[in-house]
């Protein structure tokens, strides 16, 4: 666990501290179990884990109102789905390719989705979710819902044309959207400074007269505060670009041994572990001790164990369902 303290100076209520800790810990346990199940070949296809990056999804989504706000992300979507409140059972079932999964077992790791939770994916194409989210924000603006959209993408996607076209349109139309670059510093196996003319990605918003911010993506409280500020700006008709500097502990996907980086680099970031940093702060505030933390870990492990059991016992999709869930019909509930 990390020992570095949070950079946040803001005092939050005690229940929010506990909520953030519980959510990050649930994501960590879920992801560790997903890795284990992948190794046992219970999970097929691609699988991109979120271990190390928990503070970004948890802190930012805690700063919005999912009754009217929306979340759109890319293929490393497990953490965002859990942060939006999706059921670990249907998520694990989706990883297992079972009919009880959130995409009926046909989407897998990259296509978590829940319209009722206002979580619109989970998208498999690099950068493609950025214009999709811009369209969601356009709908919110056009219908004057008062909501905002958060869209997540990595440092490998920020150089895609779709990113730049989206920011241009968002500025022209004054859309309520926060573009969040989860800069985990490695675009697959390429260090981000080797492929970018700009090292601080938040500065790229200036090209479109969009304000940029930078958050410590290993500090859930800093992410929470910066996102809350960005959301306030966005809801007043000014899109925002937020860069969260973070780090993934695992390879790009389960098939990546991550030999392009040193053990020393990985261990240095583990000393900034987002769960450990928040736990240390809460211990100083007498909000938690080792006994209470262990009890919380045990409770969440049971939830993930139950998710695995649910996935194991669920049926695979029947052959006749192969042509279902392809086109939306008039009953589609995802229309904003």
Helix (H) or strand (E) holding 58: helix 54-61
C-alpha distances (whole Å) from 217 to each of 12, 109, 227, 319 are: 18, 23, 11, 43
Grouping H, G, I as helix, E, B as strand and the rest as coil, residue 142 is: helix
With a CB cutoff of 8 Å and minimum separation 6, the contacts of 129 are 72, 73, 74, 121, 123, 151, 152, 153
pLDDT of res. 334 = 56
* Block residue for tokens 């139950």: 306
pLDDT of res. 25 = 98
Nearest to 12 by CA among 285, 297, 325: 285
Nearest to 50 by CA among 21, 71, 29, 72: 29
**Where are any strands of DSSP class E within the chain?**
70-72, 149-154, 177-183, 186-187, 190-191, 212-216, 240-245
pLDDT along the chain (336 residues), means of 10: 55 86 98 97 95 98 97 97 98 98 95 96 94 97 97 95 97 98 93 91 97 98 98 97 97 92 94 97 96 98 98 96 81 59
pTM of the model: 0.94
| Structure token digits, residue 42 | 């219970």
pLDDT of res. 325 = 83
Beta partners for residue 180, in sequence order: 152, 242
pLDDT of res. 7 = 57
pLDDT of res. 185 = 93
pLDDT of res. 261 = 94
∠ CA 206-209-215, nearest 5°, is 50
């Amino acid at each position: 666990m990390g020992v570095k303290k949070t950079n946040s100076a803001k005092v939050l209520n005690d229940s929010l501290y506990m909520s953030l800790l519980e959510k990050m810990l649930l994501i960590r346990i879920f992801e560790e179990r997903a890795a284990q199940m992948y190794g046992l070949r219970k999970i097929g296809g691609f699988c991109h884990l979120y271990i190390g990056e928990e503070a970004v999804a948890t802190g930012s989504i805690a700063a919005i109102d999912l009754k009217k706000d929306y979340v759109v992300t890319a293929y490393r979507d497990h953490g965002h789905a859990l942060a939006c409140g999706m059921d670990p059972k249907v998520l694990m079932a989706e990883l297992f390719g079972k009919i009880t999964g959130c995409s009926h077992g046909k989407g897998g790791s990259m296509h978590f989705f829940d319209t009722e939770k206002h979580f619109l994916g989970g998208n498999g194409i690099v950068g493609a979710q950025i214009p999709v989210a811009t369209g969601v924000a356009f709908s919110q603006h056009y219908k004057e819902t008062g909501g905002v959209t958060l869209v997540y993408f990595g440092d490998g996607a920020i150089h895609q044309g779709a990113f730049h076209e989206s920011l241009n349109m968002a500025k022209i139309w004054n859309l309520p959207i926060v573009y969040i670059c989860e800069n985990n510093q490695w675009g697959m196996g390429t260090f981000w400074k080797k492929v970018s003319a700009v090292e601080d990605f938040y500065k790229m918003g200036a090209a479109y007269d969009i304000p940029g911010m930078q958050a410590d993506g290993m500090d859930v409280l800093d992410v929470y505060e910066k996102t809350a500020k960005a959301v306030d700006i966005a809801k007043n008709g000014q899109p925002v670009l937020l860069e969260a500097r973070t780090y993934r502990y695992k390879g790009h996907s389960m098939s990546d041994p991550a030999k392009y980086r040193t053990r020393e680099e990985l261990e240095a970031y583990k000393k900034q572990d987002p769960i450990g940093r928040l736990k240390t702060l809460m211990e100083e505030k007498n909000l938690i001790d080792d006994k209470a933390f262990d009890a919380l870990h045990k409770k969440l492990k049971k939830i993930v164990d139950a998710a695995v059991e649910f996935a194991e016992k669920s049926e695979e999709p029947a052959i006749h369902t192969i042509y279902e869930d392809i086109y939306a019909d008039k009953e589609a509930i995802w229309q904003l």
